[in-house]
Amino acid sequence: MIPKEPGGDQPRNVTTGEWEGEQATYRTDRIIVKLKTPPEDSAKGVAEICADIAEAIPGGEQWEASGSTGRMLYSVAPDADVTQVAQDISARDDVEWAEPDVIDSAAVVPTDTRYGEQWALPKVNAPAAWDLSTGGTNVVIGIIDSGISMSATGGLNHPDLDASRYILGTDFVDGGTPRDLNGHGTHVAGIAAAEANNAQGVCGMNWGSDVYICRTLDASGNGSSASFASAVEEIVDFAVAAGKKTVINYSGGGAPNNTKRDACRYASDRGMILCAAAGNDNGGPVIFPAAYSVDFPGVICVGSTDAADAVSGFSNHGPELNVVAPGSDILSTMPTYAVGIPGTLNYDELSGTSMATPLVSGLVALMWTRHPGFTNQRIRDCLQNTAVKLGAGTFDNTWGHGRVDAEAALRCGDLFPPFTRFTNFTLNTRTKFTLFTPITFFTRTRFTFFTPFTPITLFTRTRFTPFTPFTRFTFDPGDPFGGRDPIVRPFVRFAGALLDPAELTLDRFEVFAPVAAPLAAVGLEGLDQVASTDPAALGEALGQAPEEAAALVGAAQDHLRQLASAA
């Protein structure tokens, strides 16, 4: 949270008091009301009930119409006790609950020093994870925060935030476009999704997924729980309509209330994930909505660590904590203009659980890209089960289930080990560059690494060939191979035949059409992948009997033999 200077003023129409036994900061000029569903034989419609409630509230005026969830926002007269009004309205038979609009604050501890390296990414093993996935369009990263760096005329203007990936949602503070006047939101966005490989600035955790921006925090870093809930619903509804998953990042929080609980339920029940900051009260209790992680499988509570893999001194503790991630002295994007957080334009360092949370959000989006069929519960389990333990035991209130490991998290649920297992199908194969290489029957490559000596070696024997998704090859035009195409194209070699992976996709074969979708959900999209899968592991992944899975593997091998013989 952004600390106020000693003697600093509260924002206008905001006070701190007690609500339901907890200290809370809330708006004095409005309450949130959730209606009960009227009985079918009710003589009153929703509009009439809303009007009755407005009359019962001093200075009551309905500011937001009742949506599908029945939640509304009403004004309250300046001289009224907002907590007493909320209690009175809660007692009505047609109201499920009413409450003050609790204020959340950004969970960040600003710093004024620049840290020259992104130590966090190698710490969590991100480079190895990027070999597996850099993000996909099947997942949307939602960021509910103070907005994003934009020019005064309304366009994204940061050189490290690719405008083509960003979807500008609602500004719940001032209306219009979600222009960042605080800096917190732009910093968070860069940690989760700054552009990579563009020869400038910083690199985000996720490079390929779209990012949906909603602004709920003002220039001081404060925002209401009603705005938070509306933003959650907006992003979730967008993802559901598009047939995508969403990972929502909320690097803020405050006291508990029904509005935030309902927003967490809304996302979780629709299969989505909300990553939320644990808070920065120097080991105090976890703030809300992060603390709702104990109630909903779609909520992930994130604490912070430093470069020494120790829990940051400011990070909150509690049984609600799921994982921790680097959050101290994190370099990321900042607006290109002066904002509420003082610091350097374009890039600067901040510390807080706010900074740890978007790293996890970007990572979860990578996990869902690699395993699109996983539920939010399974994604969270994989994130926790693969985390690096920072002490004795498997869980601790200070570090949860551990500090995230990006590669291990992405590999969780894979049917294939990191290295190819050689089997009795191994053959000698011939390629342009290697005369004799022992290799498996079923080998699929994207790009192959060759040493400078490979083209002139007569006999080369290898056990494993290192592959990376980024390898490119340049050739001397004067060499014996005459400067061939510098990109080695993907292929599948089977029984001496070279096959195009595009011709092996399961939907091309009638026998696999009924099971193509569940096979794709566990990462199997080609005949060669099914043919080289262990039947027991396949049966477990699909929930099938072993003999059914073995029949699928056998059918794939038969089809490969037929294709190879015809090649």
Q: Is residue 344 part of a domain?
A: yes
Residues 449 and 493 in one domain: yes
Distance CA 139, CA 148 (A): 20
pLDDT of residue 304: 98
- The CATH number linked to 380 is 3.40.50.200
Cβ proximity of 173 and 216 under 8 Å:
yes
Distance CA 408, CA 416 (A): 13
Choose among 556, 141, 519: nearest CA to 367: 141
Residue reference for tokens 């047939």: 243
Residues 482 and 336 in one domain: no
- The CATH number linked to 73 is 3.30.70.920
Distances (CA, A) of 206 to 134, 362, 368, 374, 521: 6, 5, 11, 18, 21
pLDDT of residue 105: 77
- Token pair listed for 213: 């921006």
Residues 92 and 115 in one domain: no
* Residue among 158, 184, 371, 401 flagged as catalytic: 184
* Dihedral sign of CA atoms 202, 208, 209, 210 in order: positive
The four Cα atoms 283, 289, 293, 298 give a dihedral, to 10 degrees, of: -140
Q: Is residue 419 part of a domain?
A: no
pLDDT of residue 198: 80
Strands 95-106 and 252-253: antiparallel
Each residue's pLDDT tens digit in the chain (567 positions)? 333 333 344 456 888 888 888 888 899 999 999 999 887 777 788 888 999 999 999 999 988 776 778 899 999 999 999 999 999 999 999 999 999 999 887 765 433 233 346 899 999 999 889 888 999 999 999 999 999 999 988 889 998 998 999 999 999 999 999 999 999 999 999 999 998 878 788 999 999 999 999 999 999 999 999 999 999 999 999 999 999 999 999 999 999 999 999 999 999 999 999 999 999 999 999 999 999 999 999 999 999 999 999 999 999 999 999 999 999 999 999 999 999 998 899 999 999 999 999 999 999 999 999 999 999 999 999 999 999 999 999 999 999 999 999 999 999 988 644 433 333 333 333 333 333 333 333 443 333 343 333 333 333 333 344 444 444 434 444 444 344 443 345 667 665 667 778 888 888 888 888 888 888 888 888 888 888 888 888 888 888 888 888 888 888 888 887 887 776
146 assigned to active site: no
Distance CA 54, CA 65 (A): 12
Structural domain including 528 reads 427-566
Residues 155 and 218 in one domain: yes
Residues 132 and 90 in one domain: no
401 assigned to active site: no
Q: Is residue 386 part of a domain?
A: yes
455 preceded by cis ω (within 30°)?
no
Q: Is residue 1 part of a domain?
A: no
pLDDT of residue 107: 67
Residues 471 and 400 in one domain: no
Residues 143 and 204 in one domain: yes
pLDDT of residue 12: 61
Distance CA 250, CA 241 (A): 22
Which of the listed residues 83, 101, 119 is the one where a domain comes to its end? Answer: 101
Coil, strand or helix at 375: coil
pLDDT of residue 493: 66
Q: Is residue 342 part of a domain?
A: yes
Strands 210-215 and 166-171: parallel
Distance CA 489, CA 362 (A): 29
Residues 279 and 311 in one domain: yes
Q: Could you give the number of structural domains in the chain?
A: 3
The four Cα atoms 429, 432, 436, 438 give a dihedral, to 10 degrees, of: -50
Which of the listed residues 101, 132, 165 is the one where a domain comes to its end? Answer: 101
Strands 299-305 and 273-277: parallel
371 assigned to active site: no
* Residue among 354, 371, 396, 528 flagged as catalytic: 354
Q: Is residue 482 part of a domain?
A: yes
Q: Rg (Cα) of the chain, in Å, rounded? A: 27
Q: Is residue 360 part of a domain?
A: no
Distances (CA, A) of 264 to 166, 271, 343, 524: 23, 11, 33, 32
Q: How far apart are the first and last CA of the chain?
A: 64
Residues 431 and 305 in one domain: no
pLDDT of residue 567: 67
Q: Is residue 3 part of a domain?
A: no
Own/partner pairs, 48-54, CB within 8 angstroms, 24+ separation: 49/94, 52/94, 53/89, 53/92, 53/94, 53/95
Distance CA 55, CA 70 (A): 18
- Which are the contacts of 444, defined by CB distance < 8 A and separation ≥ 6? 490, 491, 492, 501, 526, 528, 529
Which of the listed residues 44, 72, 101 is the one where a domain comes to its end? Answer: 101
Cβ proximity of 386 and 412 under 8 Å:
yes
Residues 351 and 279 in one domain: yes
Residues 388 and 502 in one domain: no
* Residue among 29, 94, 101, 145 flagged as catalytic: 145
Strands 222-224 and 109-110: unpaired
Could you please report the per-residue DSSP string of 27-41? EEEEEEEEEPPPPTT
Q: Name the E strands within 288-385.
A: 299-305, 323-326, 330-333, 347-351
- Token pair listed for 503: 């011709």
pTM for this one? Answer: 0.71
Residues 71 and 85 in one domain: yes
